[in-house]
Amino acid sequence: MSDHERLDDGAPVLPGPPPPVPDLDAVSASVERRRRATVPVPEELERPVETDGATAVLAVDDVAVDDVAVATAHEAPQRSPRPVVGPWALGLAIVSLAASFVGGWMLPLGLVAIVTAIVASRRPVERRGIVVWAIVLGALSVLYSAGWLLWAASRAGLIG
């Protein structure tokens, strides 16, 4: 190499032996000690360190290792489950209420809306306002449908 050769950042290239390669077992043990001491990792995420004799590969998804063997962990953002039962219960309640103004044949749909809203009320991700409206509208549809069915039964002479 000549004296006028320089690296991309302008520093001169110095001849000499390459820097020593650190002991991979010691680096892996140091990383593992620091990782366990600083960041608790769930057991299902832990994986052993695999070596092929020349390089060490850390196969842990949430740990990054830099040149001085300091492990830093980052957590992936947790996605909260979307509310899916409450809106369905409200939709069923609205349809059954609209149909109960015409006749009593949608009484089962009103009952399904109430049961679905009760199931949704037990989930922590559901919006309470939607669940309450689904229960109220479902109960109204059951009352209107039952009124229609009682009226039709009395007209048919089935009851008193």
Number of helices and strands (H, E) in the chain? 4, 4
DSSP state of 11: P
The pLDDT profile of the chain, 160 residues, written as one tens digit per residue, is: 454 566 666 666 667 777 777 777 877 777 777 766 655 556 655 555 555 555 544 444 444 444 444 444 455 567 766 668 999 999 999 999 999 998 888 899 999 999 999 999 998 888 899 999 999 999 999 999 999 999 999 999 888 7
**Single-letter code of the amino acid located at 40:** P
The token pair that represents 10 in the structure block: 């302008």
SS3 call for 156: coil
Residue 126 backbone dihedrals phi, psi, to 5 degrees: -80, 145
Task: Give Cβ neighbours of residue 83 (< 8 Å, ≥ 6 apart).
Answer: 120, 123, 125, 126, 127, 130
pTM reported for the whole predicted model: 0.49
pLDDT at 67: 40
